[in-house]
Amino acid sequence: MTASEHKGFRKRLLPLAGVVFLVGLILYMSLWALTAKGRSACPFKVPSSTLSTGRTFSSFVNRGDCIRLGKAVTAADRQQGLSGKTFMPPDEGLLFVFEPPQQACMWMKDMRFSLDMIWLNSSSTITHIERNIKPESYPNSYCGASPAAYVIELNEGTADAAKLKVGDQLKL
């Protein structure tokens, strides 16, 4: 191959390599987007035994904040809640599930630390927030403004730190 033939071959090969690269990049990004739909909103996959609540878990994301949530689904679990616990890690909470949605009232019976409580409707939109509820407030009850599908209990100050407000929709 002469020098001029080699130069002509390179001129034809360079655009072809660019096209192959772009097609590969588009395919990669398309596959990534398709598989991202099935991914959890939170990056952790932890067994429930590692949660301080000792229950099965879910999670929520709001503006990039990700909180692991133990689930209280049965009436007995909801009545027990976090009562008797002495500590909850800052990246954890407890999700109370109400099926069907109902007027959900919460209390601080046997609590040893303060909480924020967030009421959500069936589309996971925040309808009410109570902040910095102290254990000494028992026997007072705290009720949402409308029927709730979920109530989340978080450590005191977490709702403010995550900038949660009525009308926010959480990804559960």
pTM: 0.68
pLDDT of residue 29: 54
Q: Which CATH class is domain 48-161?
A: mainly beta
- The full set of domain ranges for the chain reads 1-39, 48-161
Contacts of 67 (CB under 8 A, 6+ apart): 42, 59, 60, 61, 91, 92, 93, 154, 158, 162
pLDDT of residue 39: 40
Q: 128-139: b or e for each residue (b if 16 or more CB lie within 10 Å)?
A: bbbbebeeebee
d(CA 158, CA 92): 10
CA atoms within 13 A on the CB side of 129: 19
* Distance from the first to the final alpha carbon of the chain: 64
- Residues in the chain where the model's pLDDT stays below 50: 31-41, 43-56
d(CA 122, CA 98): 9
d(CA 143, CA 127): 11
Per-residue CA distances from 92 to 58, 82, 104 (Å): 10, 12, 21
